[in-house]
C-alpha cells in the first residue's frame, strides 16, 4: 500500500473504492489538533485519517525508535482500508481513530516495513 494507489471492495458489495495517498501533515498547524493528518483521495474525495500524537509517543517508548513517514502513511492506509472493507465509512471527510486503534495500526505498519 504505502505511497501507491490501492482499491478496496467492501465485504458483500460490488462497489470499488479507488484510494491514493495525498499528503502528510501535522494537525497542529491547520487545525490546532494534536494529530498527524494523513490525507487520502477516495474516489476523488479527500479523506483525512487523524492519528493522535499520543500513539506515536507510545510506539516510540515500546519500540525505542520513532516511526518513519512511510510507516505513518501505511498505518493510516490500514485504518482507511479497514473502514472501507467493513462498510463503516459513511463519506465523512475526517476519521479520528482512538489512540489504541492508531497504535495497533502503527505497530502493524512497522512490522510490515
Over the stretch 57-93, which tens digit does the pLDDT of each residue have? 999 999 999 999 999 999 999 999 999 999 998 889 9
Which distant-in-sequence residues (6+ apart) come within 8 Å of 29 by Cβ? none
pLDDT at residue number 27 = 67
Residue 8 has pLDDT above 90, yes or no: yes
CA-nearest of 97, 61, 56 to 76 is: 97
Over the stretch 11-26, which tens digit does the pLDDT of each residue have? 988 899 999 999 998 8
CA-nearest of 104, 84, 85 to 95 is: 84
Q: Is 108 helix (H, G, I), strand (E, B) or coil?
A: helix
In contact, 62 and 108? CB cutoff 8 Å: no
Query: Rounded to two decimals, what is the model's pTM?
Result: 0.91
Amino acid at each position: 500500500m504505502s505511497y501507491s494507489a490501492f482499491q478496496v471492495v467492501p465485504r458483500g458489495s460490488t462497489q470499488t473504492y479507488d484510494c491514493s495517498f495525498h499528503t502528510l501533515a501535522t494537525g497542529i498547524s491547520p487545525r490546532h489538533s494534536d494529530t498527524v493528518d494523513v490525507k487520502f483521495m477516495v474516489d476523488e474525495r479527500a479523506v483525512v485519517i487523524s492519528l493522535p500524537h499520543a500513539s506515536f509517543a507510545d510506539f516510540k517508548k515500546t519500540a525505542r525508535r520513532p516511526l518513519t513517514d512511510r510507516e505513518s502513511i501505511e498505518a493510516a492506509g490500514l485504518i482507511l482500508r479497514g473502514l472501507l472493507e467493513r462498510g463503516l465509512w459513511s463519506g465523512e471527510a475526517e476519521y479520528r481513530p482512538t489512540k489504541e486503534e492508531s497504535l495497533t495500526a502503527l505497530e502493524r505498519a512497522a512490522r510490515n516495513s
